[in-house]
């Protein structure tokens, strides 16, 4: 089984590499040693990462198909049909010990991929190689999943059978695509920013900002050609509106998003206490992220941030806002990938909670 795995992987990779010179004889021969070193130092090659070790303790010592698409090398190959089995499904659990390796991307299917279907069902076509990035970095839920879960219920009625709905980690492609992928919870009657396409001559695809092997983003110097004076990405801002209402329209857009996100956290807390009737706390690192604040200290203590103590007093209004809180929290670069979409989701969540608890909405300018 294992040797078969390696053989298929090697065949696919050899095939992909053999095709390289055809891309243009003029092109400088790629420096394989350099590429490999850059890749090996990247998170995709980090064998110790939780994203690759999470299943080590599983009873059947394998990564279930539904997780293997993005967490194993064979899984993504299987998902894209490069193993000649069905498309868009990983039929069998995959062996432990995988990473996102060369063949995950260097196989004919991954390299030819140009479209991506998001959890909302929306499909983006005409993409370049960022299609393969967006297949894994698309998240695992959409705003529509929240609507489905709360359909036919009163906005503020606690329902014991509701559970938190989680976008999953670092869904940069969902952020970047904005309302075209509808990854966030989009409130009815509002309009939302589409894909963050930047401007002509500015980087607008995963691969114009991230090196495909090191994954490192383009140096800040490539940004400051236009974003004069920015010492770090977080200083970048072009928005003239004061989106967080603090009177400062010069701070980086990252700071506005952070302020709004913190305010949403407070509003969620107030709603839990005053409307849902059970205080709620958030822990970014513990599944399923929202817990009952049993001692009411506003912090997720070690004995509170555990699955049996998961928050179970959800109302539709609270679930929508919490979904968006997590959407923004889990893409640490939402402020670059699509800042206006993030701000809109935060504003509308605040406004919705503000219908029931005290939320200061003065001066918030919606982009």
Q: Which of residues 209-238 bind ligand HEC (CB under 6 A)?
A: 209-210, 212-213, 215, 217-218, 222-223, 225-227, 233, 236-238
- Minimal distance, residue 75 CB to ligand HEC, in Å: 7
Conformational region of residue 277, where left means phi above 0, alpha means psi within -120 to 50, and beta covers everything else: left
Is residue 200 packed enough to be buried (19+ CB in 10 Å), middle (13-18) or exposed (0-12)?
A: exposed
The token pair at 292 is 């009952």
- Minimal distance, residue 94 CB to ligand HEC, in Å: 11
Q: Judged by CB under 6 A, which of 82, 113, 116, 132 binds ligand HEC? A: 132
Residues 64-103 contacting ligand HEC, CB under 6 A: 66-67, 69-71, 76, 100, 102
Give the rounded distance of the alpha carbon of 18 from its chain centre.
Answer: 33
The token pair at 337 is 């990938």
- Minimal distance, residue 154 CB to ligand HEC, in Å: 31
Sign of CA dihedral 224, 230, 234, 235: negative
In the chain, the N- to C-terminal Cα span, in Å, equals 54
Q: Judged by CB under 6 A, which of 96, 153, 169, 194 binds ligand HEC? A: 169
**Pairwise CA distance, residues 46 & 43, whole Å:** 5
Q: Of 153, 121, 120, 118, which Cα lies nearest the Cα of 318? A: 153
Q: Judged by CB under 6 A, which of 109, 153, 168, 310 binds ligand HEC? A: 168
- Minimal distance, residue 9 CB to ligand HEC, in Å: 11
- Minimal distance, residue 158 CB to ligand HEC, in Å: 27
Residues 336-355 contacting ligand HEC, CB under 6 A: 336-337, 339
The token pair at 101 is 């390796």
Q: Judged by CB under 6 A, which of 6, 7, 10, 36 binds ligand HEC? A: 36
* CA torsion, ordered 61, 66, 67, 68, to nearest 10 deg: 70
Query: Should residue 46 be labelled a site residue for ligand HEC when binding is judged by CB under 6 A?
Result: yes
The token pair at 185 is 């919870």
Q: Judged by CB under 6 A, which of 172, 292, 321, 342 binds ligand HEC? A: 172
**Pairwise CA distance, residues 97 & 112, whole Å:** 27
Q: Of 78, 81, 56, which Cα lies nearest the Cα of 66? A: 78
Residues 284-343 contacting ligand HEC, CB under 6 A: 331-333, 336-337, 339
**Pairwise CA distance, residues 75 & 67, whole Å:** 8
Q: 148 or 216, CB closer to ligand HEC?
A: 216
Q: Judged by CB under 6 A, which of 142, 173, 353, 359 binds ligand HEC? A: 173
Q: 3 or 48, CB closer to ligand HEC?
A: 48
Number of C-beta neighbours around residue 292 at 10 A: 19
- Minimal distance, residue 23 CB to ligand HEC, in Å: 6
Number of C-beta neighbours around residue 269 at 10 A: 17
Q: 109 or 273, CB closer to ligand HEC?
A: 109
- Minimal distance, residue 355 CB to ligand HEC, in Å: 28
Residues 133-162 contacting ligand HEC, CB under 6 A: 133-138, 140
Q: Judged by CB under 6 A, which of 117, 156, 193, 198 binds ligand HEC? A: 198
């Amino acid at each position: 089984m294992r040797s078969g795995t390696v053989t298929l992987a090697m065949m696919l990779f050899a095939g992909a590499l053999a095709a390289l010179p055809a891309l243009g004889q003029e092109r400088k021969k790629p420096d394989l040693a350099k590429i490999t070193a850059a890749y090996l130092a990247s998170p995709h090659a980090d064998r110790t990462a939780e994203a690759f070790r999470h299943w080590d303790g599983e009873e059947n010592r394998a990564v279930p198909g539904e997780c293997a698409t993005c967490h194993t090398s064979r899984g993504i190959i299987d998902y894209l049909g490069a193993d000649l089995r069905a498309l868009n499904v990983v039929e069998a659990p995959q062996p432990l010990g995988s990473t996102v390796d060369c063949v995950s991307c260097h196989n004919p299917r991954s390299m030819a991929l140009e479209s991506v279907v998001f959890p909302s069902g929306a499909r983006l076509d005409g993409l370049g190689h960022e299609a393969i990035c967006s297949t894994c970095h698309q998240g695992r839920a959409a705003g529509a999943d929240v609507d489905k879960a709360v359909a036919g219920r009163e906005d503020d009625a606690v329902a014991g059978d509701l559970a938190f709905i989680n976008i999953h980690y670092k869904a940069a492609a969902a952020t970047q695509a904005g309302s075209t992928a509808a990854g966030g919870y989009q409130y009815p009657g509002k309009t939302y920013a589409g894909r963050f396409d930047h401007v002509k001559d500015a980087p607008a695809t995963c691969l114009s900002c991230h090196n495909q092997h090191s994954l490192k983003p383009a140096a800040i110097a490539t940004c400051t050609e236009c974003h004069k004076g920015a010492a770090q990405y977080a200083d970048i801002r072009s928005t003239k509106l004061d989106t967080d209402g603090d009177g400062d329209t010069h701070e980086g857009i990252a700071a506005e998003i952070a302020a709004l996100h913190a305010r949403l956290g407070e509003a969620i807390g107030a709603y839990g206490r005053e409307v849902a009737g059970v205080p709620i706390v958030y822990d970014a690192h513990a599944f399923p992220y929202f817990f009952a604040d049993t001692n009411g200290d506003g912090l997720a203590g070690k004995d509170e941030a555990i699955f049996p103590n998961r928050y179970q007093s959800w109302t539709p209004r609270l679930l929508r806002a919490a979904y968006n809180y997590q959407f923004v929290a889990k893409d640490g670069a939402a402020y670059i990938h699509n800042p206006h979409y993030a701000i809109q989701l935060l504003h509308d969540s605040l406004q919705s909670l503000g219908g029931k608890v005290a939320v200061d909405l003065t001066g918030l300018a919606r982009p």
